[in-house]
Every structure is written in structure tokens, then in C-alpha cells.
């Protein structure tokens, strides 16, 4: 299914600049930011690189474990971190 439908919105220059700044903060294009907001999502700002380093180390630790219970706890923790800090929220 191609995306061939367009919605035009009139803004002041200041409004456009504010939306573009918020989109950049979230690491999204202006179009994707506006679309997510219109569909009820609240995009999150791009977290610092240190978060990704820590998540990678936690993943490496999970690869070294031999306990199915601990593996599951780490998997759930990684999902919770991603949901809390990375994924857009439905508002």
C-alpha cells in the first residue's frame, strides 16, 4: 500500500520551527513526528548513547547466563527499559 495521500496544514513560521525542533529532538522527520502525534503517540527524545552501551552490556551478560529464569528476567528488564525510554507512548 503506497503512501499517496497528503494532508496540508497551515502554520506560522514560529509554529513550524517549534515542530521541527521537537521532531529533531526525537530523531524523527517532521512528517513522522506530526503523524505520530496526530495518531495519539508521544514520541520520546533520543536518549544519550550511554543508554545504548549499557543495554548492549546487559544483553552480553544475558548471553553468558545459563539459568532460564535469569535469562527471562533479563529479557523482561530489557523490554521494560525499551518501553520506558525508547518507544513512543500512546497518549
- Cell readout for 4 is 499517496
In sequence order, what are the residues at sequence separation of 6 or more whose Cβ sits closer than 8 angstroms to the Cβ of residue 74?
A: 58, 61, 62, 65
In sequence order, what are the residues at sequence separation of 6 or more whose Cβ sits closer than 8 angstroms to the Cβ of residue 30?
A: 19, 20, 23
Domain boundary assignment for the chain: 1-43, 49-90
pLDDT tens digits along 16-60: 999 999 999 888 999 999 999 999 998 888 777 777 778 788 878
Q: What pLDDT score was predicted for residue 8? A: 92
Look over the chain and give the mean of its residue pLDDT values, rounded to a whole number: 84
Q: What pLDDT score was predicted for residue 91? A: 63
Task: Choose among 49, 69, 47: nearest CA to 57.
Answer: 49
pTM of the shown model: 0.58
Q: What pLDDT score was predicted for residue 57? A: 81
Amino acid at each position: 500500500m503506497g503512501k499517496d495521500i497528503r494532508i496540508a496544514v497551515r502554520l506560522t513560521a514560529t509554529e513550524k520551527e517549534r515542530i521541527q525542533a521537537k521532531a529533531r529532538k526525537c530523531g524523527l522527520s517532521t512528517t513522522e513526528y506530526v503523524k505520530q502525534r496526530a495518531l495519539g503517540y508521544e514520541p520520546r527524545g533520543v536518549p544519550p548513547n550511554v543508554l545504548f552501551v549499557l543495554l548492549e552490556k546487559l544483553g552480553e551478560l544475558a548471553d553468558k547466563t545459563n539459568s532460564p529464569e535469569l535469562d527471562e528476567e533479563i529479557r523482561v528488564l530489557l523490554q521494560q527499559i525499551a518501553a520506558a525510554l525508547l518507544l513512543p507512548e500512546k497518549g
